[in-house]
Amino acid sequence: MNYLAIVGTNSHVSTNRMLLQFMKEHFKEDAQLELYEVRDLPAFYEVKDDQVPEAVAALSAKILQADGVIIATPEYDHAIPAVLKSALEWISYTSQALTDKPVLIVGASHGSLGSSRAQAHLRQILDSPELAARLMPSSEFLLGKSQAAFNAGGTLIDEDKRAELDEIFREFMLFTQLITKLLSEKVTIKKDKKYVWQTQEA
């Protein structure tokens, strides 16, 4: 499996980034994880003359090529960070590359709840019509008090949390296989994909 692992923050020091880095190493025998930084994207704006920023087009290509996507989000004021929302707006407005893509949400926070409200917020966004991602049901990995969750080598310390992450990741690999099989057998009528602005009246 090849997964794109999106760091959902522009913070240079982030336990969500540490979580994805740990997952990349911990699951390297089972899957390849490529970390992606949303902080490298411009803030969302309505483009003119179909001029999609190069970084946005590159992100869309990475999503389309991946078997699935993993998003790690912190929680800011009970919601996802603006930089992550902006990245999703780019995808929604342009390529819609997340449509039918298997997605796993994980999250770390300094508090005890482990970004639970932000994860619920992100699920709602990803379920919107022009994103329409395939979210694995009944799955949450909530890492609370994350500043003390890793040792100096970046390893997740708590054995119970590691076991929980192992189970969720195994389920996500199976979920990815099932969704891929389902979509391959689905009879669809192919249509030329148009950007949103190409279908709007002047």
Taken in order of first residue, the domains within the chain and their CATH numbers are 2-198 (3.40.50.360)
CB atoms inside a 10 Å sphere around CB 10: 16
pLDDT of residue 48: 81
Query: Are the C-beta atoms of residues 104 and 172 closer than 8 Å to each other?
Result: yes
Determine the Cα–Cα distance for residues 110 and 200; give it in Å rounded to an integer: 43
pLDDT of residue 112: 78
Dist CA 82 CA 119 (whole Å): 14
| Residue 189, pLDDT score | 46
The pLDDT value given to residue 101: 97
pLDDT at position 186 is: 75
Q: Nearest-CA neighbor of 193 among 90, 87, 99?
A: 99
Output the pLDDT for position 37. 97
Strand partners, 36: 6
CA-to-CA distance for 63 and 3, rounded, in angstroms? 9
- Which residues does the chain have with pLDDT short of 50? 189
DSSP states of 99-118: TT-EEEEEEE-SSSS-SHHH
